[in-house]
Structure 1
Amino acid sequence: MSTTEEQAAEAFQSAPPIILAPGPRKTDRIPPPPNDVWELPYGTAWVYHGEGNGQLTRPVLIADGFSTGPTDLGLTWELLEYGPFPLLSELRRRGRDVVLIGYHERSASILQNAEAVMKAVTTAIDRRSGEHPLVVGGFSMGGLVTRYALAKLETDGVEHQAQLYFSWDSPHTGAWIPIALQAFAHYIKKLHPGFSDQINSPAAQELLCQHIANWDDKPATSERRLAFLRALEEVGSWPQSRQLRLVALANAPATGEGNGIAPGNEAVTGKGLAVAGTELRTQSEGEDQLVAKLRVLTTSSREVRTSGLPDIDGAPGGTLPGFGILADALNEVAGFGVVNPIREHCFVPAVSAVSVREPATHDDLYTPIGDDELEEAPFHAVKFASQSETHTLVTEELSTWLLDQLP
């Protein structure tokens, strides 16, 4: 390895971790101090009383989603309050108490983090003034954490006293990280292990419909995901209390119209000395499809090919700027410069957010979702966005619909 390459390797090893998740915080506005803080098993909750409430009265419990490391509840507040629609302020204006639930480790198993939600539910019941029913739900992975938590409480014979469960762009039938990104993460593991560790974390494996543990693996459903699905089945798959309504929101349309990202196109291409020859492509359907060429401080590049996967990057669904997050991180390191013509990809397909189909084929993803399918879905009501948009984006369109569902 040349001196220049050694310098590039050292710079990359000391660079900040690459994390496929929202963040860091983008505003200097500091969230108000909570009225109360609850220490929970594997987590913490910040409690904000609604306007006119001197104590917990009409609780709305909101669980955090997936990332790496402990939840930054300040970032959670920012995403729910300082985006297109001030959801937290509107909840509180309507006299609702907001309980934001975070985890000590966001990439830990969904089953572990569900224990934080279960304790938050029983704590809310114990500390609530009056008998107003609870609202319990979450964004992204938080919708799965709360789904399992409520079902487990029912199985254990504990009355959760929730009258509404909501999931906001939650991957009930699986989330998607492009195989090209997963392969790159594992390929650089010796130099920069955090990215690979996130892809291989318990929560990631439980969420992803297709996973690889090493750069040259064949994509498949992880054994951890299969175990999680079995755990869901053991508690009835969904909470089933007669008083509980289940609703889902999707940051995508029901029309089957894709997000405009074409398959087989270059999304990240290496230009710097350390990564020249690297090429990450959007996913194509069919057999023996090239999705990545990998070269990082080596003499030659390696190819990654897939077979039997759909063109899922362009599917209708909540999007994640996964290619962009990687490109931005690489461009911060000398010798690792890349061009990045495609920043986003589908992360939670619309069919997954409303749990009507597995995202297995092109037709599964792109066929419009009809009323007959929704009648067979586990939800009492669903709300789709007008178009594919950023995963868990808190828009007025979706927020006002959710507010109208509150008991």
Structure 2
Amino acid sequence: MRKPPIRKAADMTEQTVQPWSILGTDPAPAQAAPDPDAYWEFDGGFALVYYANSKFGLNRPVIFADGFNAGRSKPDAMWAHMETEGDYALVSALRESGRDVVMLGYEERSARIQDNAEVAAQCIMRAAQERRGDTPLAVGGFSMGGLVTRYALCKLETTRMNHQTGVYFSWDSPHRAAWIPISLQALAHYLKDEDGITEMSDHVNSPAACQLLWRHIETVDAVPTQHQQRTDFLRDLDRFGTWPTIPVKLGLANGSGTGTGLDVPVGSEMLKVTGGLHPYRTTTLYAQRSGAQELVARLKRQRIVNPQPAVEKRTDGLPELDAAPGGTLRSFGIARDQLAAGGAVECDHEWVDFVPSVSAVAIRDLDEQEDVYADIGSLDPASSDLDEFVCSSTNEEHSRITAELGEWLLDRLPK
């Protein structure tokens, strides 16, 4: 990310609010990705290929598609995510089991899912053509990558292309949508309107974000709704069959399956700007509460000249998704860190739900409170769109690699 500008305000001595995106900064990992055994280039993306045994070449490939962010996929970050950042070295485990690892990246991670699915389709077909053995492919991805590969396999089947895939998997993918608090979306657009701090607003309004989010607002005063781009994506996915029919379909959730949510009191203050000279002092964001006309954000840009009243953002009838069981993001903590450059900011609850467990295992929609907080273990597994799924023992960071999930997946890959 480029170095953020320091802006001068006409009625303040200095403003130093830092720009950020939904997922925060995109820092370089401590360890660079090792040189791959093969590097594949595609129209719109690339893949890093690591053989289990260089003598045999591509023999038992497993394709992992990258998730959502801004800009080009970063090989070092892709490697670190799978090998060093979690508590389970997934790349090593795969290669030790005789499987080749194919890391699929995109030229633009925030592009439409349909567009990046074309990249995935190229990768799948190349792996099918270059594979030397007869073990079927395993194809999937992390977060949005699970939707990208799902769409790609569906389209390949509809167009009668032999994708040779025996297992499809998704790792904390938002099959029934993801959640970014309306309060944070409103803050993003408010910062853009007031001071031209555009990064987070642009990220929220990117094509992929519009397709992933259950409820979305393009501007501060917009009513939270399903974005037209999500509607179009779901229509296109349905046109290609909704789910691939040939491979076994597996789903992994970083969220708990017990219905136990996060320790985030509904309606509580999640973030409050308290610094005496902060240009956004008194701005306050609240945890989502169900009900009518619930206050989720009070946004205030302090001005000596031509002061304006605070903007209040309210919601109607939304489930309490901030605290829902699921894979989590440090959404409010990220916001606090970036706002704190301008002065003191309080944040009692940094982490909130991003991919509800019921969405990751495709067993319930997000419209009703009781569905979002469902005890998945008590539901009929056949009500999921997946053939088999697993939830984490506790609510963990979104798409984090753990031994619990990693070993479960390895046990179910093509033999």
- The TM-score normalised by the length of structure 2 is 0.93
> Which residue, out of 211, 220, 224, partners 1:215?
220
Is 2:200 the counterpart of 1:195? yes
Is 2:152 the counterpart of 1:143? no
User: Who is 2:103 aligned against?
Assistant: 100
**Within 5 A, what are the aligned runs for 1:343-382?**
343-370=350-377, 372-382=379-389
Q: Aligned AA for 2:188?
A: A
**Within 5 A, what are the aligned runs for 1:129-278?**
129-190=132-193, 191-241=196-246, 244-272=247-275, 273-278=278-283
- Paired with 1:142 and 1:22, the residues of 2 have a C-alpha distance of 19
Q: How far off its partner does 1:22 sit?
A: 6.5
| Distance verdict in 2 for CA 1:36–1:247, change over 3 Å | same
Q: Aligned AA for 2:237?
A: L
User: Who is 1:289 aligned against?
Assistant: 294
User: Who is 1:18 aligned against?
Assistant: 20
User: Who is 1:30 aligned against?
Assistant: 32
CA contact (8 A) 2:28 2:76 kept: no
- Paired with 1:77 and 1:295, the residues of 2 have a C-alpha distance of 41
- Paired with 1:296 and 1:76, the residues of 2 have a C-alpha distance of 38
Q: How far off its partner does 1:21 sit?
A: 2.0
- Paired with 1:212 and 1:84, the residues of 2 have a C-alpha distance of 36
Q: How far off its partner does 1:336 sit?
A: 4.6
User: Who is 2:127 aligned against?
Assistant: 124
Q: How far off its partner does 1:90 sit?
A: 0.6
User: Who is 2:3 aligned against?
Assistant: none
User: Who is 1:307 aligned against?
Assistant: 316
Cα deviations by residue, 1:361-389 (Å, 9 ceiling, x for unpaired) = 21111121246532122211111100111
- Paired with 1:238 and 1:103, the residues of 2 have a C-alpha distance of 22
Cα deviations by residue, 1:49-81 (Å, 9 ceiling, x for unpaired) = 113644111110000001111111210110111
Q: How far off its partner does 1:397 sit?
A: 0.5
- Paired with 1:73 and 1:6, the residues of 2 have a C-alpha distance of 41
- 115-124 or 297-306: which moved more? 297-306
User: Who is 2:82 aligned against?
Assistant: 80
| Distance verdict in 2 for CA 1:286–1:51, change over 3 Å | same
| Distance verdict in 2 for CA 1:22–1:385, change over 3 Å | farther
- Paired with 1:65 and 1:123, the residues of 2 have a C-alpha distance of 21
User: Who is 1:403 aligned against?
Assistant: 410
SS in 2 for 1:30: coil
User: Who is 2:331 aligned against?
Assistant: 322
| Distance verdict in 2 for CA 1:154–1:246, change over 3 Å | same
- 313-322 or 46-55: which moved more? 46-55
> Which residue, out of 29, 50, 55, partners 1:48?
50
| Distance verdict in 2 for CA 1:188–1:161, change over 3 Å | same
Cα deviations by residue, 1:60-112 (Å, 9 ceiling, x for unpaired) = 00000011111112101101111210001110111111110011111110000
SS in 2 for 1:189: helix
User: Who is 1:64 aligned against?
Assistant: 66
CA contact (8 A) 1:51 1:93 kept: no
Cα deviations by residue, 1:332-379 (Å, 9 ceiling, x for unpaired) = x3x354111111110000110011111112111112124653212221
| Distance verdict in 2 for CA 1:27–1:204, change over 3 Å | closer
SS in 2 for 1:230: helix
CA contact (8 A) 2:111 2:207 kept: yes
- Paired with 1:289 and 1:80, the residues of 2 have a C-alpha distance of 40
- Paired with 1:262 and 1:283, the residues of 2 have a C-alpha distance of 9
SS in 2 for 1:5: coil
User: Who is 1:89 aligned against?
Assistant: 92
Cα deviations by residue, 1:253-279 (Å, 9 ceiling, x for unpaired) = 221111221111111111232111200
Q: How far off its partner does 1:130 sit?
A: 2.3
Cα deviations by residue, 1:201-239 (Å, 9 ceiling, x for unpaired) = 110010000000101111111111111000110000000
Q: Aligned AA for 1:230?
A: R
- 215-224 or 19-28: which moved more? 19-28
SS in 2 for 1:347: strand
- 267-276 or 161-170: which moved more? 267-276
Q: How many residues align?
A: 398
- Paired with 1:276 and 1:254, the residues of 2 have a C-alpha distance of 39
- 289-298 or 96-105: which moved more? 289-298
Cα deviations by residue, 1:119-169 (Å, 9 ceiling, x for unpaired) = 001111122212221000001000000000000000111011000000011
CA contact (8 A) 2:24 2:334 kept: no
- 353-362 or 295-304: which moved more? 295-304
Q: Aligned AA for 1:248?
A: G
CA contact (8 A) 1:321 1:345 kept: yes
- Paired with 1:186 and 1:6, the residues of 2 have a C-alpha distance of 23
- Paired with 2:129 and 2:20, the residues of 1 have a C-alpha distance of 40
Q: Aligned AA for 1:388?
A: N
| Distance verdict in 2 for CA 1:215–1:22, change over 3 Å | closer
- Paired with 2:25 and 2:48, the residues of 1 have a C-alpha distance of 19
